[in-house]
Amino acid sequence: MKFKIAKPVILASASPRRKEILSLLDFPITVIPSLVSEDIDVPTDDFAAYARELASMKTSAVAKEHDNHIVIGADTIVVHEGKLYSKPNSKEQAKTFLQELSGKTHTVITGVGIFEGGILRVFSVETAVTFRELDDVLIDAYVDSGDSMDKAGGYGIQTAGALLVEKIDGDYYNVMGLPLAKLTEHLRRLALIALKDGDPYIAY
């Protein structure tokens, strides 16, 4: 499917995975990474709010300089048993993450911000991911590949990290870093994008 856009779109993220996902809508995208710090307090009872706050910060930082654009920002986190699993800062931490998630179900939460016309709207999507029982040989080989290091929770479902996953319940693209179906729904409802054939820009 091909979509038309009401205004130029900026993706406020350096993630190649998010660019790849958003490109599926087949309209031009400009990438301007947000450089805001992620150093904010992590709540112990509402991780979705934390993901939305990060998405809001990233989107707003880019939108300040491009208020005549549609700006989309996002942040993805992994949560298990009340603990936040960020991007690992070492191979040792990545191995620990995967050992702790082995054989269990964790939650991937992506917060998404949409800025347009001076208004910022934010939402979040959650997907449950269940890992297989992982042996140390597999964990070591995966971490040594380098794939763990720039991904929340220490794995990427779209790469060899798929070998770690038993099943998912929810949006696959959300686990990759951008819940495309829900984002598209919001953009269409806001009359910011429309299908090229017979789909007018009408908010509903």
**What is the identity of the amino acid at 23?**
S
The verdict on whether 135 is a catalytic residue reads: no
Closest to 122 measured CA to CA, from 181, 46, 37, 182: 182
Residues 58, 61: Cα–Cα separation, whole Å: 5
Please identify which of the residues 46, 75, 197, 199 carries the catalytic annotation. Answer: 75
Question: How large is the angle between the packed helices 136-144 and 91-101, nearest 10 degrees?
Answer: 140
Residues 73, 63: Cα–Cα separation, whole Å: 10
Beta pairing, strands 193-195 & 119-131? unpaired
Any idea which residues carry the catalytic annotation? 75
